[in-house]
Amino acid sequence: MKKYFLATNDVESTSIKFNKQRDITAEKVLKEGTPLLLDLYNKSEIKATFFFTGEIAEKYPEVVRMILPCGHEVACHGYSHEDEFAFDKMGYHDQVIHLRQAKTILEDISGTKVISFRAPALRVNEFTPKALEAAGFEIDSSIAPQRADSFLSFGALKKLNRLFSPRLPYYTSANNLAVKGDSSIFEIPISAFILPYIGTFMRINPALTKQLMILLDKESAFTGKPVNFLIHPNECITEDDEDTVARRSANIIKYLLAEKLRTRMKLNNLGKAAIDLYEEHLLYFKNKDYTFCTLKQYKNEYNK
């Protein structure tokens, strides 16, 4: 059975260290994080997918242009990554407006048709499939099936149905991206098995993520499920200590127990260390004869 590895990259200005959107972070994503990932993909002859927020593309169009010569796919990560514009907070009309706005910006800069979407913080709701259709999208990659740690993240309860969502790619229902149905939106799930197969987890616990990698390879050989890894260029940068780590929760106990620990863990292996860890994963799949392609290419193969 042919095996696929989908390298997916969420490009945004979120500072992991300072827990907010920052222009300084966006500049580092442009000058450090994205070039490091592009070098790695070039070296390994890998085609990848880059999801950009409309905001970062508008302010730093060069970050979109720089991926084009390598044949990577330009995809959409919403317009804004701010909490107030999370897709699970917006109604149908606002979602369509945000999607169209971001799509237009990305298509104008890249001169390519943008059809793939990943929601900021993977937050979606019952309006998202129809909003995606209305805005001209064909592919979604916001669902991480059987990912148990979702319950510690934003919109946890709304992510409950993802515990039971299909593992193999599927066409979604018209009002739920996490279940099969007859919409025109093709879901390519992010790899997870209790734990998510993403850069954050790879940096927090490299050893356990390697076990997950081996497990996902076995599953892929058995079922044909593509491996879909999520990383951010903002994980591949280093930021200076010009500020204390932002305190987000008003509740001091919650802050001490959860956020401080969570933030400290999230700072592990940032910068070049993240690239080195990622390279080991890519080599593992390279040696196992995986095809590395974009989401658009994968969908074409699927429908052959």
Q: Which is nearer to Zn ion, 23 or 301 (CB)?
A: 23
What is the Cα Rg of the chain in Å?
A: 18
Among residues 187 and 235, whose Cβ is nearest to Zn ion? 235
Spatial separation of the C-alpha atoms in residues 60 and 47, rounded to whole Å: 22
Q: Closest CB to Zn ion among 183 and 191?
A: 191
Residues of this chain that interact with Zn ion (CB under 5 A) are 10, 12, 120
Amino acid at 225: K
In whole angstroms, the minimum distance from the beta carbon of 28 to Zn ion comes to 16
Structure tokens at 7: 């390298």
How would DSSP label each residue in 48-79?
EEEEE-HHHHHH-THHHHTTGGGTPEEEE--S
CB closer to Zn ion out of 4 and 51: 51
Q: Which amino acid is at 59?
A: K
Please report which helix (H) or strand (E) contains residue 228, including its range. Answer: strand 227-231
Residue whose CB is less far from Zn ion, 56 or 225: 56
Q: Helices 272-286 and 34-43 sit at what angle, rounded to 10 degrees?
A: 20
Q: Nearest-CB residue to Zn ion?
A: 10
Q: How far is the CB of 230 from Zn ion (least distance, A)?
A: 9
Distance CA 149, CA 125 (A): 19
Q: CA–CA separation, 304 vs 294, rounded Å?
A: 16
CB of 159 to Zn ion, least distance (A): 15
Other CB atoms closer than 10 Å to residue 179's CB: what's the count?
17
Minimal distance, residue 207 CB to Zn ion, in Å: 25
Please state the closest distance from residue 231 (CB atom) to Zn ion, in A. 11
145 or 199, CB closer to Zn ion? 199
Q: How far is the CB of 140 from Zn ion (least distance, A)?
A: 14
